[in-house]
Amino acid sequence: MHVPGTAPQSAPAPRENPAAPAPAGNTPAGEPAAPAPGRHSRRFGLPVATALVMGNIIGGGIFLLPASVASYGTVSLVAFGVLTVGAIALALVFGRLAQRDPRTGGPYVYAREAFGDFAGFLAAWAYWITTWVSNAALAVAAVGYLDVLVPVNDHRWTACLAALALQWLPALSNFAGTRYVGAVQVVSTVLKFVPLLLVAVGGLFFFDPHNLGPFNASGHSAVGAVSASAAILLFSYLGVESAAVSAGEVKNPRRNVGRATVIGTAGAALVYLLGTLSVFGTVAHSRLVGSSAPFSDAVNAMFGGSWGGWAVALAALVSMTGCLNGWTLLSAQTPYAAAQDGLFPAAFARRRRGVPTVGVGVTVVLASLLTVYNYTSGSAKVFQVLVLVTTFTATVPYLLATAAQIFHLVAGRGHLVNRARLARDCVVAAVAAAFSMWLVAGAGYAAVYQGVLFLFAGVLVYAVMAARRPRTP
C-alpha cells in the first residue's frame, strides 16, 4: 500500500501460496490468519511467547559475561542498567507496532508498511543474516561447554561435527512443527533458569563486598568505562524482537506480543543483572578477571567442591540448544513474510506444520557451511568478527522499526496513533532510536565495514526480485 508522505512504491498484497496461511490483510478482523489446523501446528500463548523472547535473549553469553566485563570493574553494572533501559524501550516500541500490525515478520512488516518495499527488504535481509550467522556462532561456542562433559575439542573434525549436530537437532525440532518448537523452548528455558537463579538469587546470601574490587578498574574515565563495557554487553540483548517476528504464530498477537516482549526482556535483564552482581560478590575480582567459567567459580565458592563446572556446562549447553531452537524458527519467519510479498524467492513461503520449512533448511545449511569454514580456517578471529557483524546487521531492522514508529507518531494519522499516550510513545521511540545507534557504535569499525558489504549484496538480490515482480499500472 502507498503511505501518504512517502514516495510512491509498489507494495501489492501478499502473494497467495497454497501451503501458507492467508496474510493479515486478507482476514476480516485484521488479525493474522492462523496456520491450517493440525496435530503438529499450534499457536503460541503468552507463556510460550515470553519463553521465546527470554530464551533467545539469554543464550550462552550469560555464562561468560561476568568475567568479560570484570576488567572494567563494577562500573559495568551501570552499563548493564543503561542497556536495560534501551532494550526495554525497544521492546515497548515492538509492542506498540505489533498492536498496529500483528503479522508475522516483525521489523520487516513495520518497515515495509511505513516506507515501502525497499526498506522492508533491507530489514528482512539484514535480520536474516543476523539469525544464521548467530546460529553458527552459538553452535561453535556450545562445543566449548560440551567439551567439559564429553571431550570433543581434541580433534578439529570431532568438534566440527559436534557443532553441526547442535545446529541440526533444533532444525529437526522445527521441521516437526510449531507444537514441538514451543515445547522445546519452554523446557529449555525452565531448565537453564534453575542454575542461573541458583547463582543470581542464592549468590546474594554469600555476597561479600570485598570481592567486588574497584568501581572503575579500566584506567579511563567512568563514562569511557561504561561505553567500553557496554560494547561487550550489547550483543547480549539481541532477541527482543522475537515475539514480534513470530506474531503470526502467537495467540491474540495485538495483546500478547507486546506483553511477551516486555516481560521477556525485563526478565532477561533481571537475570543478567542479578547473576552478574552475585558473581561479582562471590568470586574475588583478581580471580574473576582471568576466569573462563565464572558461574562455575561462583558455585564452587558458594558450596565448595568442583562440581560447579559440570553443572554450569550442562546448563550452558541446554541454554544454547534452546536458544538455537528459537533462533532457527525466527530465521525462517522474516524470509517467509518477505516471500509472501514477492521480495524473497517464493520457495521461502512454503509452510508445513506451521513452520516455513524451506527457510529453516536454507538457514541451517548456510550456518553449517559457515561453521565448517570456521573450523577449516583454523582462526577464531574471523568468526569473532562475524559475530560482531550480527550486532551491526541487527540494528538495521531495529532502526527501521523504530523509524516506522516515529513516522506514525509524527505523521499525525489519528487512526494509527494513541493520542492519550503520544508523549510517552515519543520518548520511548527516542530512547529506542538512541539505543539502536549505540548498538552500531558498539559493533566497531570492522563489523560495520563487513556488515555494509552484506547489505550491499542484498541490494543486488533486491534488484533481481524487483525486476521479476509484476508491476501494477
**DSSP-based three-state secondary structure for 284:** coil
Answer positive or negative: Cα dihedral of 420, 423, 426, 428: negative
pLDDT score recorded for residue 235: 72
pLDDT score recorded for residue 210: 87
pLDDT score recorded for residue 243: 79
Cβ atoms of 328 and 184 within 8 Å: the answer is: no
Residue 305 contacts by C-beta under 8 Å, 6 or more apart in sequence?
none
pTM of the predicted model, to two decimals? Answer: 0.75
Neighbours of 468 (CB within 10 A): 10
Euclidean distance between CA atoms 181 and 338, whole angstroms:
22
Q: Cα–chain-centroid distance for residue 382?
A: 21
Degrees to nearest 5, angle at CA 57 with 141 and 274: 95
Cβ atoms of 339 and 104 within 8 Å: the answer is: no
Neighbours of 81 (CB within 10 A): 12
Query: What are the backbone dihedrals phi and psi of residue 44, each rounded to the nearest 5 degrees, phi first?
Result: -80, 140
Q: Which uninterrupted H or E stretch holds 265? A: helix 253-282
Up-side HSE of residue 429: CA atoms within 13 Å toward CB?
Answer: 19
Cβ atoms of 310 and 303 within 8 Å: the answer is: no
Answer positive or negative: Cα dihedral of 94, 99, 103, 109: negative
Euclidean distance between CA atoms 453 and 136, whole angstroms:
19
**What are the mean pLDDT values of the chain's consecutive 10-residue runs (473 residues total)?**
34 33 35 43 71 75 78 87 88 86 83 92 90 84 79 80 88 69 64 76 86 82 80 77 77 83 88 88 87 80 74 78 77 82 86 80 90 74 68 88 90 64 86 86 80 89 84 55
Euclidean distance between CA atoms 321 and 167, whole angstroms:
8
Measured between alpha carbons, how far is residue 28 from residues 22, 25, 102, 105, 353 in Å?
11, 8, 14, 20, 24
- Cell readout for 71 is 576488567
Residue 210 contacts by C-beta under 8 Å, 6 or more apart in sequence?
none
Cβ atoms of 345 and 16 within 8 Å: the answer is: no
> Which residue, among 26, 25, 9, 44, has the nearest Cα to 252 in the 3D structure?
44
What's the longest Cα–Cα distance across the chain? 75
Strand partners, 379: none
pLDDT score recorded for residue 328: 82
Strand partners, 250: 44
Euclidean distance between CA atoms 237 and 134, whole angstroms:
13
